[in-house]
Amino acid sequence: MQTILVANPKGGSGKTTLATNLAGWLAGRKQRVVLADFDPLRSATEWLARRPPLFPAIASWTPNDDRQEIKEHNPHWLVIDTPAGLHGESLRDAMRRADILLLPVSPSAFDMGATQHFLDQIREYKAVKKGEIAIGLVAMRVDPRTHSAGELDEFLNAFEFPLVAHLRATQVYVHCARDGLTVFDLPRSRAEQDWEQWRPLTRWIARQAR
What mean pLDDT, rounded, does the chain reach?
A: 92
pLDDT band at 74 (very low <50, low <70, confident <90, very high): very high
Reply yes or no on whether the pLDDT at 197 is more than 90.
Answer: yes
Average pLDDT over residues 194-201: 97
The residue range of the domain holding 92 is 2-208
pLDDT for residue 53: 93
pLDDT band at 126 (very low <50, low <70, confident <90, very high): confident
pLDDT for residue 159: 92
Counting the structural domains of the chain, the total is: 1
Q: Is 148 exposed, middle or buried (0-12, 13-18, 19+ CB in 10 A)?
A: middle
Q: Give tens-digit pLDDT for 80-100.
A: 999 887 777 888 888 888 999
With pLDDT > 70 as the criterion, what percentage of the chain qualifies?
A: 100
pLDDT for residue 133: 92
Contact 23/67 with Cβ under 8 angstroms? no
pLDDT for residue 127: 85
pLDDT for residue 129: 87
CATH number at residue 149: 3.40.50.300
pLDDT band at 30 (very low <50, low <70, confident <90, very high): very high
Average pLDDT over residues 3-29: 93
Average pLDDT over residues 134-142: 95
Q: Give tens-digit pLDDT for 168-181.
A: 999 999 999 999 99
Round to whole Å and give the CA distance between 194 and 71: 32
Reply yes or no on whether the pLDDT at 210 is more than 70.
Answer: no
